[in-house]
Amino acid sequence: MIRNRPTQNTQRRYEIAEQILRENIDGGLLPLGLVLLEGPIAEILQTSRAPVQRALSRLEADGLIHRFNGRGFLVGPAGAGLAPDRTDIKSFGIVIAQDADEALQSRSSWERIYNTVEADVAGCVVFGQYRIIEIELANHFKVSRTVVRDVLGRLHERGLVRKNQSSHWIAGPLTAQTIKDHFAFRRMLEPSALLAGAEDVDRDRLNDLFARLLDMEGKDVGDHLENLDALQSQMIDICVMTNANEKMRELIRNNLLPLDASERLLRHLGLPSDPTVITEIRLIVELLVRGAAKAAAAMLEAHLDAAMRRMIAQMKIVSIIPGPTVTADYLTRVE
Q: Across residues 314-319, what is the average pLDDT? A: 77
Q: Are 149 and 111 in contact (CB under 8 A)?
A: no
Q: Are 70 and 35 in contact (CB under 8 A)?
A: yes
Judgement on whether residues 304 and 185 belong to the same structural domain of the protein: yes
Q: Are 207 and 289 in contact (CB under 8 A)?
A: yes
Tell me the pLDDT band of 4, cut-offs 50, 70 and 90.
Answer: very low
Query: In this predicted structure, what is the pLDDT of residue 305?
Result: 96
Judgement on whether residues 49 and 116 belong to the same structural domain of the protein: no
CATH of the domain at 282: 1.20.120.530
CA 167-169-174 angle, 5° bins: 125
Choosing from 89, 106, 123, the residue where a domain stops is: 106
Tell me the pLDDT band of 9, cut-offs 50, 70 and 90.
Answer: very low
The 10 Å Cβ neighbour count of residue 203 is 11
- Reported as a single tens digit per residue, the pLDDT across 23-75 is 999 999 999 999 999 888 988 887 777 788 889 988 998 899 998 877 789 99
- Reported as a single tens digit per residue, the pLDDT across 257-305 is 778 777 776 766 666 667 788 899 999 999 999 999 999 999 999 999 9
- Reported as a single tens digit per residue, the pLDDT across 199-240 is 989 888 899 899 988 888 776 655 455 567 778 888 998 999
Burial group, residue 314, by CB count within 10 angstroms (0-12, 13-18, 19+)? buried
- Cα-based distances in Å from 196 to 68, 118, 189, 206, 251: 28, 31, 11, 16, 15
Q: Is 334 or 264 the better-scoring residue by pLDDT?
A: 334
Judgement on whether residues 9 and 71 belong to the same structural domain of the protein: yes
User: From CA 335, how far away is CA 332, in angstroms rounded?
Assistant: 10
Q: Which of 1-5, 47-51, 128-132, 318-322 has the highest mean pLDDT?
A: 128-132
Q: Are 191 and 284 in contact (CB under 8 A)?
A: no
Q: Which of 9-23, 80-94, 123-137 has the lowest mean pLDDT?
A: 9-23
* Cβ within 8 Å of residue 165, ≥6 positions away: none
CATH of the domain at 98: 1.10.10.10
Residue 17 belongs to domain spanning? 2-106
Choosing from 106, 136, 160, the residue where a domain stops is: 106
Judgement on whether residues 119 and 16 belong to the same structural domain of the protein: no
Q: Are 234 and 201 in contact (CB under 8 A)?
A: no
Judgement on whether residues 64 and 84 belong to the same structural domain of the protein: yes
Nearest partner of 281 among 263, 303, 264, judged by Cα: 303
User: From CA 278, how far away is CA 124, in angstroms rounded?
Assistant: 28
Query: In this predicted structure, what is the pLDDT of residue 309?
Result: 93
Task: Report the number of distinct structural domains present in the chain.
Answer: 3
- Cα-based distances in Å from 115 to 99, 155, 227, 254, 315: 24, 10, 20, 15, 23
Judgement on whether residues 131 and 158 belong to the same structural domain of the protein: yes
Judgement on whether residues 192 and 297 belong to the same structural domain of the protein: yes
CA 253-259-264 angle, 5° bins: 115
Q: Across residues 168-172, what is the average pLDDT? A: 90
Judgement on whether residues 83 and 157 belong to the same structural domain of the protein: no
Q: At what angle do helices 38-45 and 49-61 cross, to 10 degrees?
A: 120
Judgement on whether residues 226 and 311 belong to the same structural domain of the protein: yes
Judgement on whether residues 231 and 101 belong to the same structural domain of the protein: no
The 10 Å Cβ neighbour count of residue 57 is 14
Judgement on whether residues 240 and 191 belong to the same structural domain of the protein: yes
Q: Which of 47-56, 176-185, 193-202 has the lowest mean pLDDT?
A: 47-56
DSSP lists the bridge partners of residue 36 as: 73
Choosing from 62, 86, 106, the residue where a domain stops is: 106
- Reported as a single tens digit per residue, the pLDDT across 60-116 is 988 999 988 777 899 999 888 898 998 989 888 888 887 777 776 655 567 778 888
Judgement on whether residues 220 and 258 belong to the same structural domain of the protein: yes
